């Protein structure tokens, strides 16, 4: 009897051991699968969010035309954001940075992009400049936040960016330190911007179709260099532009007022009236330009009349989109 009891206890222990062994194996498999999934996810994340590799001499055969470089600079409005706060048009080339921009994601400060070796971009070779402007990637491989409109500048023509860099060499030095952005902690990891770019950095034109040469020129000036959409197009919760509402106006991110709809649904001015506004700042109703558009008009007024007319023609060709105010 005692032997039978011993055998039963021994069998129970064996069965218990087998059961526990099975559970341990299942747990081990689950842990392994979880770790494998985590590793694969991490590899995929870093692969998808990685910036493009820098090209040592991307456009080395092109020679800079600084006269055109000045026109590109004015159309792109670099000084409007990167000059010091309260700067006048006279100081438009002193790119010391410091202006701040309120957004739903925090407060961004424009950096010093003067030719200062210490605080600006004076050490940059052209390859770093081209990569920053058209890809939104810093010399050390970090993604820039899309408050810098590289989503528009990616369309900049090769010769224009070479000309712009050539003109940039004449800019004065401003040894003013950069100010850190004031952002929530979760936005501090810039690698996430790489994923944002894959979703929202569209490589095609927003307005396509059968455009005449003047309208195509206007599209280049407005969509690429002038980046009009950055202010005049509504954004989604992730900060991406709502292309279905291109240039349809949106709330002022500062919190006061409304940035106007400049599609034909709201802007009923003629080509000549738009062109005049971009030259003088006067509306057909004899009102005057205000806010940040003052700097935009001051820049566009220095372009040739044909370019302002091209922008006007493009705006008339944009689909009419009405968005509730």
Q: Where are the domains of the chain?
A: 1-49, 66-200, 213-317
Helix (DSSP H) and strand (DSSP E) numbers for the chain: 12, 4
Q: Output the pTM of the full model.
A: 0.85
Tell which CATH architecture fits domain 213-317: Orthogonal Bundle (1.10)
pLDDT tens, the chain, 325 aa long: 555 555 555 566 565 556 665 666 666 666 655 665 666 655 555 555 567 766 666 677 899 999 999 999 999 999 999 998 877 666 678 999 999 999 989 999 999 999 999 999 999 999 999 999 999 999 999 999 999 999 999 999 999 999 999 999 999 999 999 999 999 887 778 889 999 999 999 999 999 989 999 999 999 999 999 999 999 999 999 999 999 999 999 988 766 788 999 999 999 999 999 999 999 999 999 899 988 899 999 999 999 999 999 999 999 999 999 865 4
Distance CA 266, CA 295 (A): 23
3-state secondary structure of 254: coil
CA neighbor of 292 nearest in space, from 97, 99, 65, 21: 99
* Cβ-based neighbours of 70, under 8 Å, separated by 6 or more: 167
């Amino acid at each position: 009897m005692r032997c039978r009891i011993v055998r039963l206890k021994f069998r129970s222990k064996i069965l218990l051991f087998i059961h526990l062994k099975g559970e341990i194996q299942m747990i081990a498999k689950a842990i392994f699968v979880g770790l494998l999934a985590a590793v694969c996810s991490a590899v995929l994340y870093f692969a998808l969010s990685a910036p493009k590799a820098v090209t040592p001499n991307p456009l080395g055969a092109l020679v800079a035309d600084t006269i055109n470089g000045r026109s590109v600079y004015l159309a792109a409005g670099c000084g409007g954001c990167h000059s010091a706060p309260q700067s006048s048009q006279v100081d438009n080339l002193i790119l010391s940075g410091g202006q701040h921009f309120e957004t739903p994601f925090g407060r961004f400060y424009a950096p010093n992009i003067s030719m200062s070796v210490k605080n600006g971009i004076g050490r940059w070779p052209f390859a770093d400049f081209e990569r920053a402007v058209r890809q939104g990637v810093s010399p050390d491989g970090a993604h820039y936040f899309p408050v810098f409109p590289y989503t528009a500048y990616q369309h900049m023509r090769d010769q224009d960016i070479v000309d712009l860099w050539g003109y940039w060499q004449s800019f004065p030095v401003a040894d003013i330190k950069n100010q850190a952005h004031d952002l929530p902690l979760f936005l501090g990891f810039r690698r996430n911007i790489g994923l944002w770019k894959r979703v929202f950095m569209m490589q095609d034109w927003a307005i396509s179709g059968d455009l005449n040469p003047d309208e195509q020129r206007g599209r280049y000036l407005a969509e690429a260099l002038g980046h009009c959409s950055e202010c005049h197009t509504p954004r989604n919760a992730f900060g991406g532009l709502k292309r279905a509402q291109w240039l349809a106006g949106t709330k002022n991110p500062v919190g006061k007022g409304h940035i106007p709809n400049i599609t034909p649904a709201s802007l009923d001015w003629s080509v000549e009236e738009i062109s005049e506004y971009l030259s003088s700042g006067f509306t057909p109703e004899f009102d005057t330009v205000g806010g940040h558009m003052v700097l935009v008009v001051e820049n566009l007024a220095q372009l040739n009349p044909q370019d302002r007319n091209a922008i006007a023609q493009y705006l008339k060709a944009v689909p009419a989109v009405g968005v509730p105010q």
